[in-house]
Amino acid sequence: MNSDTRLLELEDLRKWFEIRRGFLSSRVNYVKAVDGVTFSLEEGKAVSLVGESGSGKTTLGKTILRLYEPNGGRILFQGKDITHTKVKDLKWYRRMASLVQQDPFGAFASHFTVFRALEEPLLIHNTVKSREERAERVFKALEEVRLTPVEDFAYKYPHMLSGGQLQRVAIARAIILEPRLIVADEPVSMLDASVRIEILTLLRRLQERLRLGVIYITHDLATTRFFSESALIMYAGHVMEKASTREVLRNPLHPYTKALLIATPDPNPQNRSRFKEVPPGEPPALVDPPKNCRFSPRCPRAFDKCFKEEPPEFEAAPGHWVKCWLYERS
């Protein structure tokens, strides 16, 4: 990867939440929600972040956006270290990186029209001075997300819109400050199945047209095929596998990724029979987890070492990384 085109780099990033057993207890435990994540994203490319509930996807997304401060590692954005930049100095980054959340129904103040909701970031960041120019930007953003004719939508209130339309407004709000990075956290999981593909296609089109970096968070490995260049498979705060999306889907290596693929019905019965090992059980508790492979209690292929030592990431094929002892070369 050419360093000039590198948008985001994470180096051994950690976000641990501190918890205390009792109000007066001095004993501190940590929920290790993101525990040593390394990857980079090029300008204008999309990466899928896939994993079961509780694997740390949202925490990673919010840490990247610096809505949480990391406990360790580094975040570089366009080469600039923002790991511990103070909140008051993060205003430019708030413009450059934005979030689309899962729930479009809770994303807007009920007394704001669509116009007002989209104007808000422009007012906060004071990037566009005149009212005419702000209106122009709002209408342009509505056009980008295909809410046309724009005048019909601009003066509506949130309760007058469907979930799909609201999510389009949320995307318009996310792009209005012309960011370079969008974190889309399960952007379609609360929408009717009929509009999911439309919204994902819209995001993908915007990503390509505006040359946005996109982090697409999902449970659904199947949708990543069309919406990202690369994929990161997360489990219990760790990245278990990372490679191009094509490679992960065509040649999944980690037993966990294989299990995720079984959970995703494949229309081709020949592919279905490839993975018979559905591991039962739940992800482990992340409060001070043991130093072994976090998937080992559920893994059908686990052996001695897996229960004792945490594997590093092995490069099983060029650009295809797996955090699994099965891929250790002796």
Site residues, ligand ATP (CB under 6 A): 17, 31, 33, 51, 53-59, 219, 286
Instruction: Kindly determine how many residues on this chain lie close enough to bind Mg ion according to the rule CB under 5 A.
Output: 1
Instruction: Identify how many contiguous H helices and E strands the chain contains and give both numbers.
Output: 12, 12
225 binds, among ligand ATP, Mg ion, none (CB under 5 to 8 A by kind): none
Could you tell me if 172 and 147 are in contact, meaning their C-beta atoms sit under 8 angstroms apart?
yes
51 binds, among Mg ion, ligand ATP, none (CB under 5 to 8 A by kind): ligand ATP
Could you tell me if 184 and 216 are in contact, meaning their C-beta atoms sit under 8 angstroms apart?
yes
Handedness of CA 132, 137, 138, 140 (dihedral sign): positive
Tokens of 210: 């505006």
Please say which residue, 44 or 72, places its beta carbon nearer to ligand ATP: 72
188 binds, among Mg ion, ligand ATP, none (CB under 5 to 8 A by kind): none
314 binds, among Mg ion, ligand ATP, none (CB under 5 to 8 A by kind): none
36 binds, among Mg ion, ligand ATP, none (CB under 5 to 8 A by kind): none
Beta pairing class for 213-218 and 181-185: parallel
157 binds, among Mg ion, ligand ATP, none (CB under 5 to 8 A by kind): none
Please say which residue, 122 or 215, places its beta carbon nearer to Mg ion: 215
CA dihedral 118, 120, 124, 128 (to 10 degrees): 50
Please say which residue, 165 or 223, places its beta carbon nearer to ligand ATP: 223
- According to the binding rule CB under 5 A, does residue 58 interact with Mg ion? yes
* 3-state DSSP percent of the chain in helix, strand and coil, to 5: 40, 25, 40
Could you tell me if 79 and 1 are in contact, meaning their C-beta atoms sit under 8 angstroms apart?
no
* Least separation in angstroms between CB 260 and Mg ion: 15
* Least separation in angstroms between CB 197 and ligand ATP: 20
Please say which residue, 7 or 31, places its beta carbon nearer to ligand ATP: 31
Please say which residue, 218 or 245, places its beta carbon nearer to ligand ATP: 218
Could you tell me if 152 and 112 are in contact, meaning their C-beta atoms sit under 8 angstroms apart?
no
* Least separation in angstroms between CB 184 and Mg ion: 12
CA distance 45 to 76: 16
Handedness of CA 86, 88, 93, 98 (dihedral sign): positive
Cα 232–Cα 227–Cα 142 angle in degrees, nearest 5? 125
54 binds, among Mg ion, ligand ATP, none (CB under 5 to 8 A by kind): ligand ATP
Stretch that binds Mg ion, among 32-40, 43-51, 57-65, 71-79 (CB under 5 A): 57-65
Please say which residue, 145 or 232, places its beta carbon nearer to ligand ATP: 232
Interface with Mg ion (CB under 5 A): 58
